[in-house]
Amino acid sequence: MMTAQPLQSDDFDSPWKNILEWYFEEFVEFFMAEAYADIDWRQPVEFLDKELQQVVRDAEFGRRHVDKLAKVWRKSGQEQWVLVHIEVQGQYEAGFEERMYTYNYRLYDRYQHKVASFAVLSDDRAAWMPAEFGYDLWGCRVHFEFPTAKLATYTEQWAMLEASRNPFAVVVMAHLKTQETQHDSQERRFWKFYLIRHLYERGYQRQDILNLFHFIDWLMYLPPNLEQQLRQEVYEMEAQKLKPYITSFERMAMEEGREEGREEGRRLEASRLLQRILTHRFGELSKEMQAQLAQLTILQIETIVDMALTPSSFNEIVAYLDNLSISSDEHPTEKSE
C-alpha cells in the first residue's frame, strides 16, 4: 500500500487531491476494475498536472471539483493517460457531460494521447447519473461515453465497505456519514470516532492511519466542544491499543506551535480551521483568498466563522474580505484589530 506524508496544515489544496495521488492504484482498483486489470502497476504512475492545466481553465473562486491526470502503462507496454474528475461538493451541473467531453478531446487534440475519462459524483440526487455526451447534425454524429461512480449508491453496500482493506472504502464511508449527519453533530461525532477506530481495527499502517485520519478530520467537521470530546476518546483508544499515532502527531504540531509563539500559533491554527470550514462548505479556495485569510486577526476570523455557519453566501464573505482590504489600504499605519 502506498504511503505518503500527512497533509500539511498549510497545504490548502483539497485533500481529495492528496488522497488521489497517495492511493491512485487503490482508487483505480476500487472504482475502475477494468482499467485496474489492464494497467501494469510495476511501472510508476506519473501525474501530469502541468499538462492538464494547459487545457483546463477553472474559476478561481468557488471551485467544486478536483481533476487529476495520470500517465500509466498498460500490460501490453502501451503508454496510457487517465483523467479522473471528482465533483467534490456534488452539486448538479447542467453542462457536466459536455465539460467531460471537452476535457477529453482537448487533451487528445493537444497531446495526441488516448485519454480514459472517469467521473466520481458525491451528490445525493439519485436521478442524476451523467455518463455520455453527444449530438448529431445532418448525418454527422458525435458520441462520447464515460464511466461514472456515484458515492451515494454505496449506502446499501456498507458491509462491503467495512470489510474492504482498500483506503477508498474509508473515503466513501466518511463521505456517506458526513452527508447523513449534516444536521446532527452528536451523531457525526459518533461516526467520526467509529471511522477512526476502524482504521486501527483494519490493521492499516501508521502512515495510512494518519493520511486517512486527516481526510476524515477535514470532511467531518465538528463544533469545538464535540471535537474536544472526540480527541479525548481517540487518546483513550490509542492508550489501550498502545499505538499513539494520531495523538503523538498532534503533540509534534503543538510543539511547533510553541516555537512560533503562543499567540501567533493560535492565530495560525484558527486561520487553518477557517480555511477548512470554507473549503468544506464552498469548495476549493483560490490562492488569493487563502492569502487573505492567512492575514486575518482572531476577531476577523471569528466573524467569518460565524458567517460560514449561517446561511451567508460565499459572495458575502468575499465582500467582507474586500472591505477589510480597502480599510487597510486607506489606513496603512493603523494596526488591524
Binning pLDDT at 50, 70 and 90, where does residue 60 land? very low
What single letter denotes the amino acid at residue 50? K
What are the pLDDT digits (tens) for 148-192?
888 888 999 999 999 999 999 999 999 999 988 988 999 999 999
Distance CA(219)–CA(275), nearest Å, equals 12
Residues 215, 219, 222: CA angle, nearest 5 degrees: 120
Joined together, the cell numbers standing for residue 68 give 487529476
The residue whose grid cell reads 510508476 is 44
For the ranges 102-106, 191-195, 203-207, 275-279, the maximum mean pLDDT occurs at 191-195
Other residues' Cβ atoms within 10 Å of the Cβ of residue 30: 19
35 burial (CB, 10 Å; 0-12 / 13-18 / 19+) is: middle
Integer-rounded Cα radius of gyration of the chain: 22
Q: Are 212 and 220 in contact (CB under 8 A)?
A: no
Q: Hey, where are the domains in the chain?
A: 33-146
Distances (CA, A) of 17 to 21, 80, 210, 311: 6, 20, 16, 28
Q: Is the pLDDT of residue 61 over 50?
A: no
Least confident of 217-221, 237-241, 315-319, 333-337: 333-337
Query: What is the distance between the alpha carbons of residues 277 and 219, in angstroms, rounded to a whole number?
Result: 9
Mean pLDDT of 218-222: 86
How confident is residue 59, by pLDDT bands cut at 50, 70 and 90?
Answer: very low
pLDDT of residue 246: 64
